[in-house]
Amino acid sequence: MLKTKPIRWPAPAKLNLFLYINGQRDDKYHELQTLFQFIDLSDYLTITANLSGKITITPEIDGIPIEENLIYKAAIILKQYGDKNLGATIHLEKNLPMGGGLGGGSSDAATTLLALNYHWDINLTKNKLSQIGLSLGADLPIFIAGEASIAEGIGERLTSVLPIENHYLVAVPDCHISTPSVFQNKELIRNTSKRSLAQLMSQNWLNDCEPTVKNSYPKVAKVIDWLVEYAPTRLTGTGACVFSTFATAQEAKVVLDKSPQWLTIFSCKGLNVSPVNGLLSTLK
């Protein structure tokens, strides 16, 4: 039965607490080992289902045709599993920086799949939704699973873990980084040995993309160089965002209060369970 009541759905950001590149496959995709954890900052999608057969998204994003919008793509793909008359209006509150390595676009698309699966009463399993999501981006399965996880392969093999839910400062350098350009860079580290789960969870964490990104983007290097004086600091994903780790919110605030005017920065907390999971549990 179609569920037409409007619901405001969160689409949380993520951090890559570490990122190791284990090699490049024949199909040009890279084998990875990375640890995803959510943070308590989200985009929001207010979704109203209807039987218009149309997907309407507001507001329009400058420079991105609706056909290239991941939210639209997710809705169109899912619609194939239901009636052709299924439609929805989707209003996006965009809080996450685009191209920052926080997974905003992937999270928006994953929330779209989870939400419309509910609104349209299609009732696909999360495993099936993850398969659909993987066709849109390697990060989508983690957002659909909704649990902090180590991802392997190209991101599709997930193992749930419980890292410490630390407090973070996340800095947003004034630049946009193309993920393909990072992975195409000849200087990128691509030969990190695969590690066991125990090794991954116990060793000092690194991001193999960070040296390449710092060399190519001086603004990112400047942010890391400032923050690392106060706390362990790393790139998340392929950037551009950078995060520093603190045990308490107060420790993070002390550094936040010292941040220079040229630095865009916010505080947040790690979450091992996505707020989408919490919302879905109340709707069953």
Active site residues: 14, 139
Q: Nearest to residue 132, comparing CAs of 216, 189, 74, 60?
A: 74
Helix (H) or strand (E) holding 202: helix 197-202
Helix (H) or strand (E) holding 284: none
Please state, in angstroms and rounded to a whole number, the distance separating the CA atoms of residues 129 and 134.
Answer: 9
The angle at the Cα of 148, spanning 165 to 234, to the nearest 5 degrees, equals: 65
The angle at the Cα of 49, spanning 48 to 54, to the nearest 5 degrees, equals: 110
Neighbours of 222 (CB within 10 A): 17
Instruction: Determine contact, residues 94/41, Cβ cutoff 8 Å.
Output: no
Amino acid residing at 110? A
Please state, in angstroms and rounded to a whole number, the distance separating the CA atoms of residues 152 and 149.
Answer: 10
Neighbours of 66 (CB within 10 A): 13
